[in-house]
Amino acid sequence: MHTGSEVPPGGTRFALQSGMSHRSVEVIIGRLATDEGLRRRFVGNPAAVLDELCGQGCELSPVEIRALAALDQAAIIAFAEALDRRLQKVDFRAHPNERGD
């Protein structure tokens, strides 16, 4: 049993106390890593992208929104670049010659 001052394994104390699913945070971080268009828009305006994602059904607490908006954008980009290209969703608006037309 965990007391209020302990952080239980596998989650944060806030996530457990708020009843919010950590799943939305994981999904958003995954999308930022694999979706070039979303990542580009996030780097330009994190608050607008997070608001859009919440409007699409992602459940985020105010603390999670602030934490995601404060992510190190260079680290997100570096992580995305380290992933195998086959896992990436290409933004064809940014790369019009890669469509294969």
Judged against a pLDDT cut of 80, whether residue 65 lies above it is answered with: yes
Two tokens, residue 18: 């708020």
Q: What is the mean pLDDT of the chain?
A: 81
pLDDT of residue 92: 63
Cα–Cα distance for residue pair 67/32, rounded to 1 Å? 14
Rounded to two decimals, the pTM is: 0.69
pLDDT of residue 91: 66
What is the 8-class DSSP label of residue 6?
A: S
Q: What is the largest CA-CA distance in the chain?
A: 60
The structural domains of the chain, with segments of one domain joined by +, span: 20-86
What is the 8-class DSSP label of residue 39?
A: H
**R_g (Cα) of the chain, nearest Å:** 16
Summarize pLDDT for 71-89 with one digit per residue, the tens: 999 999 999 999 998 888 8
Residues 6+ apart with CB under 8 A from 39: 32, 33, 76, 77, 80
What average pLDDT score do residues 23-30 get? 94
What average pLDDT score do residues 18-36 get? 86
